[in-house]
Amino acid sequence: MTTGHDTPCAENALLHALFDGELDAANALRCEAHVAECAACRAELGHLVEIRALLADGVAWRAPDALRMRIRDALAREEQAAGAGRAPGPGWMARLRDAARSWAVLPGGVALAASLALAVLVTRPEETTDLSKQLVAGHVRSLLANHLTDVQTSDQHTVKPWFSGKIDFAPPVVDLSDRGFPLVGGRLDYIGDRVVAALIYRRHKHVINLFSWPSDGRIPRSGAMDGYNILGWQQAGLTFWAVSDLNAVELKEFQDDFAERAPR
């Protein structure tokens, strides 16, 4: 089951779940037995241990006061614009990046602190929670309303052109039937105040809704809500969100398989 000392094999997808104690007893024993035989996975597991040890010390740097003030001022201006009935301008994230860029030339901790402050401020918890609710609602709605697909076919070459002219981007459609995630079809949905693409895949009796739309630069935060796992990532200028009652390990396998075959 090994693939060499430098490249982790297919079992690498389960290492994080094993390391975090998320596998059931049977899969944990199987994975541990494999790690004992596979040098590559053993090295990868050791790398995870080293990363956790480094993170255990925490980040002790504080963003410079001037940077913090500039970011707060930028956010305040956008909130005032929203309060006056105007949507935030399209360049608001660029202005925040500009505020941090002036510190990028500083060494070590100061530059890192600047980037950390920017990441915390531009990804607001309430925005993430609201989006998660909308994603889960879209998933559940597609099941309850018998509107899982607008175009029902396992042919990726039929689903992809169906979206043409209906939305302002071209979502990648990949065939994952050989990986155990057959394509069911696609539809349009409405998430985050815009029309988005939804691709439908299955894993045994579980439905996976894969929503996508052009990226706005914000980093997706994965999680779970109301018994559904939500996995987000960015690729090729698009934001993807996979929502399903499928377990987190298999949903991560779906993400890895899709990301591998989709354009980068």
> Could you report the per-residue pLDDT of 238-247, keeping only the tens digit for each?
999 999 999 9
Q: What is the percent of the chain with per-residue pLDDT over 70, rounded to a whole number? A: 70
User: Does 84 share its domain with 188?
Assistant: no
34 and 117 in a common domain? no
Q: What is the mean pLDDT of the chain?
A: 77
| pLDDT class of 16 with cuts at 50, 70, 90 | confident
Q: Are 210 and 258 a contacting pair, CB within 8 Å? A: yes
Last residue of some domain: 122, 140, 163? Answer: 122
Residue 2 lies in a domain: no
pLDDT of 194 strictly over 50: yes
Please write the tens of the pLDDT for every residue from 71-124.
777 777 766 666 655 545 555 455 555 555 554 444 444 444 444 444 444 445
Judge whether 1 lies within some domain. no
| 242 lies in some domain | yes
Token pair in block for residue 51: 């990363």
Q: What pLDDT, on the 0 to 100 scale, is given for residue 125?
A: 52
Q: Domains in the chain: how many in total?
A: 3
Beta strand residue intervals within the chain, DSSP E: 151-152, 183-191, 194-203, 206-214, 223-225, 228-235, 238-244
Residue 70 placed within a domain: yes
- Whether the full predicted model's pTM is greater than 0.85, yes or no, is no
DSSP letters of 54-66?
Answer: HHHT-------HH
The whole-number average pLDDT for the span 147-160 is: 86
